[in-house]
Every structure is written in C-alpha cells, then in structure tokens.
Amino acid sequence: FQGIFVLGLPYALLYSGYSGLFLIILAAALCCYTGKILIACLYEENEDGQLIRVRDTYEDIANACCKKLSPKLGGIVVNVTQVTELIMTCILYLVVSGNLLSHSFPYVPMTEKTWSVIAFVTLLPCVFIKTLKIVSKLSQLCSLVHFIIILVVMTYCLTQIHQWSWAKFRLSVEFEDFLVSVGVIIFSYTSQIFLPTLEGNMKNPEEFRCMLNWTHFFACVLKTTFALTAFLTWGEETKEVITDNLP
C-alpha cells in the first residue's frame, strides 16, 4: 500500500495545496470501498444463503457481467486493461530509477535516459524467475529499503521543524497542475489488481474487509504525515522525488 510513488506525494502537494491533503484521504476511502465491492463480486449465495466463492479473477467477474452480450468480451477488456496498467507501471519505475540514479551520481556524465537503460538491463535476469517465492523475498527486501528511506526523510524533516510554515500551501491551484497531483496520489494507492489473489490466499478470508479497513487507514495516515512533513520542510523547492531534496 505504500510503494515508491509515495516519494512523489510531497511534490503532489506542491501543485494541489490543501486539496491534495483532502484527496489523499478521499483516495484511501474510495480505494478501500471499491476493493470491498470487487471482492464481493467473486461470491454468490448458495441455496442455504451462504456466500460461496465462484470466481477467482477480475476476468471471471467481467465475463459474468457481459455473458449476455459476449461470453469472453468482458474478460478480454479486463486483461488488456490490466496488462496496460502493468506495462505503464514498469515504465514509471524505470523512469523513477533513472531519476534517482542521476541525482545519486551527479558527477557521472550520464543522462537520466542512460541510467534508465542501465536499470532495465540490470532487471532483465528477473524474466527468468519462475516462482512467487523469489518474488516475495525481493518484495520483502524492497519494503524494508522503502521503510528505511521514509524513516530517513521524516527524521530529517523533523530536525527542520523550526522552518515549517503553513503559508507554503497553495490556496488556489491550476487545473493542469492539479491533474498531475491526482495522478500521483491515486497511483500511490494501486492495490486492487492484487486483491483477488490476496483474499484467496488468506487463512481467514472472512477477515478481508477488516484487513482492508485497517491497511487503508494506516496507509492514509502514513502518506498524509509523510507528504505533509516533507512539503512543510522544502515548500516551493520540493522536487519530483523527495529524496533528491536531501542534503
């Protein structure tokens, strides 16, 4: 629920002001609500009134919705949409990697595009990964590193608390700038694509709704706190990836 795009939330506040804070909270509520609806669509009541899981994927849900029009049309549309989202996510991660590497090694005569290509080549061996066990271990490592990054940024921000000023927030925003903020904020909550698998692998699936409530609540609190403290620290100097602001 955190993701590397949390590092772009302070930049989103730069262009959205107070409305950005509201949007972070609203996005959490909407994503939590829609997640519950999507998982509910995997179930149907049997003759005894008990909920039974009869579908496993969003493709199954889409096919059930469009079965009168075309048995496979809904699934095709959903699969194309999911593949498009995943491809765009991969592209965004490569762009962010290029940005981070470029600012981490400013004295190396390479452009951000070159760093992105290097990141791409480095990740190529991952196409040979065949089991989710390896992916889960890599994910745990990424989560640990991400937590350390957020901790370092927030610790530095707290040392600069004497410079904080609410005057740094914009009262009015431009529509085009606000759209950029909307994209960053919404993208930081992307979890729906994993929910069917997550719910299906839970030891107690009946606790899914409670889990979703608490995870979105804590994600909202952490993201709001992180974005707020970072933006109050750097204000108009806030960069696209907040780690670029660190001394």
Q: Which residue ranges make up each domain of the chain? A: 4-245
pLDDT computed for residue 1 by the predictor: 46
pLDDT computed for residue 35 by the predictor: 92
pLDDT computed for residue 179 by the predictor: 87
Q: What is the pTM of this model?
A: 0.81
pLDDT computed for residue 33 by the predictor: 94
pLDDT computed for residue 103 by the predictor: 83
The pairing of beta strand 43-45 with beta strand 51-53: antiparallel
pLDDT computed for residue 3 by the predictor: 62
pLDDT computed for residue 118 by the predictor: 94
Cβ atoms 230, 153 nearer than 8 A: yes
Calculate the CA dihedral of residues 198, 199, 203, 207 and round it to 10 degrees: 130
Residue 83, beta-bridge partner list: none
In degrees rounded to 5, what are phi and psi of residue 52?
Answer: -120, 135
pLDDT computed for residue 166 by the predictor: 84
pLDDT computed for residue 29 by the predictor: 94
3-state secondary structure of 26: helix
pLDDT computed for residue 26 by the predictor: 94
Burial of 219 (0-12, 13-18, 19+ CB in 10 A): buried
pLDDT by residue for the chain (247 residues), tens digit each?
A: 456 778 889 999 988 888 899 999 999 999 999 999 999 999 988 888 788 888 988 888 899 888 888 888 888 999 998 889 888 888 888 988 898 888 888 899 999 999 999 999 999 998 888 776 787 788 788 888 888 888 999 999 999 998 888 887 877 778 888 888 888 888 888 778 888 888 888 888 889 999 999 999 999 999 999 999 999 999 889 988 888 888 8
Q: What's the CA gap between 173 and 20, in Å, rounded?
A: 10
